[in-house]
């Protein structure tokens, strides 16, 4: 039974780790390689959140941001009570979104609303995972929303695949150690019986 479970775990893990990353080439029937930050394509990611008295929507354009190419993030904030949009200034910051990256934030800019939407442009020189932060103050309370942003192609093995791989390696290692220990104990038992 344990061998079947191990075989099932190995086959599932190999399926997860060995599966190629899906690459999207078209959005709504249009080729995505020629789209830029001014295209009317859907955002690559959209976050909607309720922060205190506001409902906030955060989006990134283009659909697939690349290094050294311009992009932009959009933020829309409306009061939950009456739907009135926020009309103050929003500060946009960015930092690396990695376990071992720098925690230092860099200022992207401060924006006023343009037709009730806050637009902040960006150009990232290196591909990787970033965390864009939007901050504003309303009614004497600070508001802050973080938005994950991937620049460039995603890693072939994501955090889930890496976790499954580590768990699989630990299970195989423990199984081998236990099998070796059991064999050694059987040999000792057999030799102890021979002496008696």
Confidence of residue 167 (pLDDT cuts 50, 70, 90): very high
Domain-wise residue ranges, the chain: 7-21+155-196, 24-151
- Name residues whose C-beta falls within 8 Å of residue 91's C-beta, 6 or more positions apart in sequence: 107, 109, 110, 134, 135, 136
The pLDDT, as a whole number, for residue 118 is 92
In sequence order, what DSSP letters do the residues of 72-111 get, joined into one string? EEEEEEEETTT-PBP-S-EEEEEEE-STTS----EEEEEE
Average pLDDT over residues 4-15: 60
State the pLDDT at residue 27: 43
Indicate the pTM of the whole model. 0.58
Q: Please say whether the beta carbons of 38 and 46 come within 8 A.
A: no
The overall average pLDDT reported for the chain is: 77
Sheet holding 90-96, edge to edge: 106-111, 90-96, 128-138, 141-151
Quote the pLDDT of residue 28.
46
Model pLDDT, residue 8? 60
Residue 43 clears pLDDT 90, i.e. is over it:
no
Higher pLDDT, 119 or 45: 119
67-97 per-position pLDDT tens digit: 898 888 899 999 999 989 998 999 999 888 7
Please tell me the CATH superfamily of domain 24-151, with its number. Domain of unknown function DUF4426 (2.60.40.3340)
Taking 60 as the threshold, does the pLDDT of residue 18 lie above it? no
Q: Are 63 and 43 in contact (CB under 8 A)?
A: yes
């Amino acid at each position: 039974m344990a061998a079947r479970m191990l075989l099932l775990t190995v086959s599932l893990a190999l399926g997860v780790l060995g599966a190629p990353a899906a690459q999207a080439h078209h959005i709504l029937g249009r080729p995505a390689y020629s789209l830029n930050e001014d295209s009317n394509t859907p955002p690559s990611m959209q976050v909607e959140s309720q922060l205190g008295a506001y409902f906030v929507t955060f989006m990134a354009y283009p659909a697939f941001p690349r290094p050294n190419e311009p992009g932009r993030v959009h933020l829309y904030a409306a009061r939950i009570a009456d739907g009135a949009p926020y009309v103050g200034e929003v500060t946009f910051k960015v930092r690396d979104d990695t376990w071992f990256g720098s925690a230092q934030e860099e200022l992207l800019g401060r924006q006023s609303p343009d037709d009730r939407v806050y637009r902040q442009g960006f150009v990232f020189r290196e591909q990787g995972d970033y965390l864009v932060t939007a901050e504003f103050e309303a009614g004497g309370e600070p508001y802050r929303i973080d938005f994950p942003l991937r620049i460039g192609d995603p890693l072939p093995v994501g955090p889930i695949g890496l976790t499954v791989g580590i768990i699989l390696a630990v299970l195989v290692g423990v199984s081998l150690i236990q099998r070796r220990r059991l064999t050694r104990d059987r040999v000792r038992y057999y030799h102890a019986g021979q002496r008696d």
